[in-house]
Amino acid sequence: MVSGDPSPEQRLSLTSRTVRTKYGDVSGVIVTLDSRHLEPVEVFRGIPYASPPLGSLRFMPPVTGALWSGVKIADKFSPVCPQRLPDIYNETAALKRMPRGRLEYLKRLLPYLQNQNEDCLYLNIYAPAQDFSENISEDESSKKVTHQDFQSYNSVSGEPSTIKIKSDKWSSKNILEDHALEELENG
């Protein structure tokens, strides 16, 4: 399995929705799983949240990322941070070091960890897929919230925060941080 490719039990299709961020517009994919219990998910893969930590930025706190023009198609996983992967090729030896459940989990996980690089400051964002063919009404208050985009992530430390896409309550161009949602929902 190639890193970022769908597994046999899922299908990908590009979403028609474009989300505006502080750095530029992004468009993701709809992941449909072959399960009657799981609904499709809208996925934005490899969204940069800081400049690559290379050269003089290595071992420094994250620095604000660069803007991009056009729509970034967020359909591929970005590299993961470098790490030593466990040797599971000799299954007998691996089972002496770990339970079978962990071994099976690692077999599914390791293909996604092969692409490693110090340039690994990216987010993968998952949200319930919505039917965007219907008109989504936008009032003035939702438009004001829309403009927050990615701006409100922790700008002091540069660290990412949990981000929710609340497309059931807001226009289709919203990405909001937990605390922003809580403030709005709590009045």
Over residues 48-60, the pLDDT tens digits come to: 999 999 999 999 9
- What's this model's pTM, rounded to 2 decimal places? 0.61
Indicate whether 31 pLDDT > 70. Answer: yes
Q: Which amino acid is at 23?
A: Y
Separation between Cα atoms, residue 129 and residue 29, nearest integer Å: 9
Q: In 68-124, which ranges are continuous DSSP H helix?
A: 91-97, 100-109
Separation between Cα atoms, residue 130 and residue 30, nearest integer Å: 9
Q: Which amino acid is at 170?
A: W
> In the chain, what percentage of residues exceed pLDDT 70?
64
Separation between Cα atoms, residue 129 and residue 15, nearest integer Å: 9
Indicate whether 180 pLDDT > 60. Answer: no
Residues 128-163: tens digit of each pLDDT: 887 654 444 444 444 443 334 444 444 444 444 444
Domains of the chain, residue spans: 10-82+117-185, 83-116
Q: In 54-116, which ranges are continuous DSSP H helix?
A: 91-97, 100-109
> In the chain, what percentage of residues exceed pLDDT 90?
44
Paired strand residues for 30: 13, 42
Residue 171 tokens, joined: 């226009």
Residue 137 tokens, joined: 């009404």
Please report which helix (H) or strand (E) contains residue 31, including its range.
strand 29-33
